[in-house]
Chain A
Amino acid sequence: MTTRDAVLKREAKSPQELYEEREKRVRDAIQLKEPDRVPVLLGLGYFPARYTGVPTSAAYYDVAAWKEANRKTILDFEPDLYRASTGANSGLVLETLGSTQMEWPGGKLAANVSHQMNEVEYMKEDEYDLFLSDPTDYMLRVFLPRQFRALEPLAKLPSLNLMWGQAFATVTPLFTTPEFRQVAEALYKAGREEAKWRQAMDTFEEEMAQLGFPPHAHAGGVGGAPFDMVTDNIRGMQGSMIDMYRRPEKLLALCDKILEWRTARAAPANPKKRGNPKRLFLALHRGAAGFMSKKQFERFYWPGLKKAILTSIDLGFVPMPFFEGRYQDRLEYLLELPRGKAVCHFEHMDMARAKEVLGGHLCIMGNVPSSLLQAGSAQEVEEYCQKLIKVCGKDGGFILTNASAIDEAKPSNVRAMVDSVKKHR
């Protein structure tokens, strides 16, 4: 029996009806109306690997196996929304380009672990002006050669910003050198593989929609906090924190520029696409209490994040920032966002207090701990969820979900979490 038939047989409703029912439940929660019951989002991460018995490296090397693992997990657990890790690049592409920022299972890492990020300082402390004055030149000749080993030769390119007349012809002998021929080969190889990979992977959501399951959200809009871009991808943690003291104006100027570039490039939400409203996923990192003070948050983090969220809302999106870490003392800032237009996903949070502060203003989402899902009992998970449903679910505006990664969670505990919304009111 095909999976579609299995779903049809099991449910009295058609997949399309189920899809709409789930979307409505989520929409009601976001718009602060009381849904028929609390919706549940399952953030899958690498859990499908453990659950179905494939290595996590399948997410990077075996599209068919990874899609099947995710499909099986979603069909078995039946969450209202799912977040699948199907956005990763092909491992072959990462290998070919020589990625220095990320390690992935089946690459340098063992085949059964999650990916991990290296802390990098691609831009040095004295390069702000270089970047700000000519970002494309900086990216091409400085940043990319540091970021990907296969692109190191790009550092030898001359500046390409004065290429009128026949000037570019004089550059071409460079491309006959062995190292540039290697660059060309690597790009060809990576490009071919990436196109194939994306084409195969990107059908996943539509396939799941046909089975009645809407996805959580997409990347896009104006994105998350500009400060995170700087600290995660450009200056590294150490560098960006020292910049807060030694060159705060430059740091803020770069944050502003990133926001400006992203805003200029952001496309409005496409109403013809599936799912309504158009939900946006934003991963936030270094604005948490563990990373900066409230004063630093106010100066370096919140203004950029707020502007990004507001602009995305104007473009027709519903941003759903994931507040990883501790934001307990920063809840009040979120009242500056327009009512019912965003969803806040919390990790470590006193959810009762979050409800108290944000209730009636923004939908909140959270926060079954990874530790509980991995090391606790099903009964403990159910009790935790029951309490959340009772306190946060009151009058709507709440989505139940795992606090963070559940890569190693016990399936019976994940089951207890997803089923809790059907048992408790």
Chain B
Amino acid sequence: MPSALVTAIADLQEDEALRLAKDRVAAGEDPLKILQDARSGMEIVGQRFADATYFLPDLVYAGEILKGVSELAKIPLAKAAQDKRLGKCIIGTVAGDIHDIGKNIVVFMLDVSGFEVYDLGVDVPAEKFVEKIRETNAPVVGLSGFLTLAFESMRETVQAISDAGLRSKVKIMVGGGQVDETVRQYAKADAYGTDAMAAVKLSKGWVGAK
């Protein structure tokens, strides 16, 4: 039986969620436990996003509620994420492209789904992806891009990863704007996705999580 806080967040009841969190903090409960419930609520939000019950505004709003709860619990979200168990992902918008909306949603959804995400930001040169793979040994790399020039950058990034001898160690997904199967083939990536939950599903599959 999920706690009331889990349900309030899952149902996007902001006032209710904040009231419940406040009461639990006042009762002296371990803030980490409160945040864990908040994360469980977010996971349900993610599932509802995946099955098209929720859409982007709902996801953005849920993120705001989560922020409010973590402020009440006086624990930064990152700290509560230490029990990450699924695996590591490297995400970035490829060279030449500074769009970050789609990328940020993917980062957010991977994060609440239990992944340790290394967000490299936007306009990321191929070498940076290579360096980060070496440094973290992350098995999953996500390349984001909105512009058509990103198709070329994606291809170059995958090539750079191959040239560094790391291609067999990572699975690479591409996504954003106009990315489709044609682009996936062109970039020689392993998969493409049209929304953030596709990224979560792919990543889970690759790290062997359910």
Residues of A near any B CB (own CB < 8 A): 103, 110, 113-114, 116, 118-119, 237-238, 241-242, 244-246, 289-293, 296, 347, 369-372, 374-376, 403-409
Contacts and interface: CB of A to CB of B under 8 A. Distances in A.
A292 B182 contact: no
B56 A407 contact: no
Interface stretch (B18-26, B70-78, B80-88, B147-155): B147-155
B99 A407 contact: no
Contacts of B149: 113-114, 407-408
A371 B186 contact: yes
Contact of B98 (A116, A369, A408): A116
19 contacts: A103-B98, A116-B147, A241-B56, A241-B57, A241-B61, A242-B60, A244-B57, A244-B61, A290-B194, A290-B195, A293-B55, A296-B55, A369-B182, A371-B179, A374-B186, A375-B185, A405-B147, A405-B148, A408-B151
Given A369-B180, A371-B186, A113 B96 contact: yes
Majority SS of interface residues in chain A?
Answer: loop
Nearest to B147: A114
Nearest to B184: A371
B182 A371 contact: yes
B178 A116 contact: no
B37 interface: no
Contact of A371 (B60, B99, B151): B151
A245 B60 CA distance: 10
A251 to B, nearest CB: 11
Nearest to A240: B57
Contacts of A110: 96
Contact of A292 (B14, B55, B183, B195): B55
A287 to B, nearest CB: 11
B115 to A, nearest CB: 22
A375 B55 contact: no
Nearest to B186: A375
B101 interface: yes
Interface residues of B, number: 31
Given A242-B64, A408-B152, A375 B183 contact: yes
A115 B182 CA distance: 24
Nearest to A103: B98
Q: Which 4 A-B pairs have the closest CB atoms?
A: A375-B186, A241-B57, A371-B182, A293-B55
A85 to B, nearest CB: 14
B55 A237 contact: no
Contacts of A238: 60
B100 interface: yes
Nearest to B54: A293
A371 B56 contact: no
Contact of B178 (A118, A370, A376): A370
B143 interface: no
Nearest to A245: B61
Given A242-B60, A245-B14, A408-B148, A116 B99 contact: yes
A118 B100 CA distance: 9
A281 to B, nearest CB: 20
Given A110-B96, A371-B182, A375-B182, A292 B57 contact: yes
Contacts of A409: 148
Contact of B183 (A289, A371, A405, A407): A371
B90 interface: no
Interface string B138-169: 00000000011101100000000000000000
A302 to B, nearest CB: 15
Nearest to A324: B177
Contacts of A371: 151, 178-180, 182-183, 186
Contacts of B14: 245-246
B178 A369 contact: yes
Given A242-B60, A292-B55, 15 more contacts: A103-B98, A116-B98, A119-B100, A119-B101, A237-B101, A244-B61, A291-B55, A291-B56, A293-B58, A347-B178, A371-B151, A404-B177, A408-B148, A408-B149, A408-B152
Nearest to B99: A116
B101 A370 contact: no
Interface in B88-103: 96-101
B12 interface: yes
Contacts of B100: 119
A76 to B, nearest CB: 20
